């Protein structure tokens, strides 16, 4: 059972979390839309609503925006790769 340190209640694996880890001396935070999809074992996991209560809604929204930007870059990269494959395929069909 994973418990949120801010409220002491259990975290639901199918819901969003804020996760924290150490990078050198710095503590980093990130938003994850589904706890069960995390491929690491974070040092600390909390409910977004508890994190917002402690650090403010803006802090949570910034982490969500960072996550969305990363996803967006991923989708663009995928789109670009598909387009280059299509071009290569069309060129090889012309040969
Ligand atoms: Zn909580």
- Residue ranges per structural domain of the chain: 17-94
Model pLDDT for residues 60-94, shown as the tens digit of each residue? 999 999 999 999 999 999 999 999 999 999 999 98
**Hunting for tokens 């790769």 — which residue is that?**
81
- Going from the Cα of 50 to the center of ligand 1, the distance in angstroms, rounded, reads 5
- Going from the Cα of 45 to the center of ligand 1, the distance in angstroms, rounded, reads 9
CA dihedral for 14, 20, 22, 26, sign (positive or negative): positive
- Going from the Cα of 65 to the center of ligand 1, the distance in angstroms, rounded, reads 21
Model pLDDT for residues 20-35, shown as the tens digit of each residue? 999 999 999 999 999 9
- Going from the Cα of 52 to the center of ligand 1, the distance in angstroms, rounded, reads 10
Other CB atoms within a 10 A radius of the CB of residue 28 amount to: 11
Confidence (pLDDT) at 84: 96
Read off the pTM: 0.81
Helix axes 48-55, 57-94, angle to 10 degrees: 130
CB hemisphere CA count around 31 (13 angstroms)? 22
């Amino acid at each position: 059972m994973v418990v949120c340190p801010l409220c002491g209640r259990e975290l639901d694996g199918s819901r969003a979390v804020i996760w924290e880890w150490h990078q050198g001396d710095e503590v980093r935070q990130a938003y994850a839309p589904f706890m069960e999809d995390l491929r690491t074992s974070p040092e600390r996991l909390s409910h977004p609503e508890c994190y917002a209560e402690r650090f403010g809604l803006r802090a949570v929204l910034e982490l969500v925006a960072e996550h969305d930007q990363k996803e967006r870059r991923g989708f663009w990269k995928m789109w670009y790769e598909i387009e280059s494959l299509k071009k290569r395929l069309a060129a090889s069909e012309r040969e």
